[in-house]
């Protein structure tokens, strides 16, 4: 079982989904929510990829280097530290799973600027785990 699988299993079986949900929620809050994160992707020329995650169609892939470019080394390092992994692995995991998470936070193909990210992520945990193959 890989590290992310271990994290997801721990989250699924824990008293609360704090590690994963807290990390993603913090990431969204630090970047101005889904809308702010979309702006950061737009600024880095990756608006089309992000828009595909919000839309109801297929999610366009991004590379770990593109995630690093958008979020910056400070945020990637903080996420890596929280899970005890190296920043390259954190970037890879975000590149792999952030599209599905954003997709699930925007089920109607629209960004809701008033969404409570923490509560929405907690409510989506079973769906997220299922979509991530857990």
Residue carrying structure tokens 């608006």:
47
Question: pLDDT tens across 92-106, in order?
Answer: 989 988 998 898 888
**CATH code of the domain containing 120:** 1.10.10.690
Provide the domain count of the chain: 1
**Does the predicted model carry a pTM greater than 0.85?**
no
In angstroms, the CA 128 to CA 104 distance is: 7
Cβ(83)–Cβ(7) below 8 Å: yes
In angstroms, the CA 122 to CA 103 distance is: 15
Name the residue range of residue 126's domain.
3-131
46 vs 96, higher pLDDT: 46
Phi-psi region of 84 (alpha: psi -120 to 50; beta: other; left: phi over 0): left
Question: pLDDT tens across 53-111, in order?
Answer: 999 999 999 999 999 999 999 999 999 998 889 999 999 989 988 998 898 888 888 88
- Would you state the pLDDT for residue 127? 66
């Amino acid at each position: 079982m890989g590290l992310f699988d271990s994290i997801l299993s721990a989250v699924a079986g824990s008293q609360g989904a704090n590690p994963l949900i807290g990390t993603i929620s913090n990431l969204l809050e630090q970047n101005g929510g889904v809308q702010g994160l979309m702006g950061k992707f737009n600024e880095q020329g990756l608006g089309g990829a992000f828009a595909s995650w919000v839309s109801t169609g297929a999610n366009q892939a991004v590379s770990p280097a593109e995630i690093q470019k958008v979020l910056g080394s400070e945020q990637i390092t903080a996420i890596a530290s929280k899970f005890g992994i190296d920043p390259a692995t954190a970037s890879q995991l975000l590149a792999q799973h952030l599209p599905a998470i954003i997709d699930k936070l925007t089920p109607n193909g629209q960004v809701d600027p008033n969404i409570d990210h923490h509560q929405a992520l907690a409510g989506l945990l079973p769906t997220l785990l299922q979509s991530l193959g857990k």
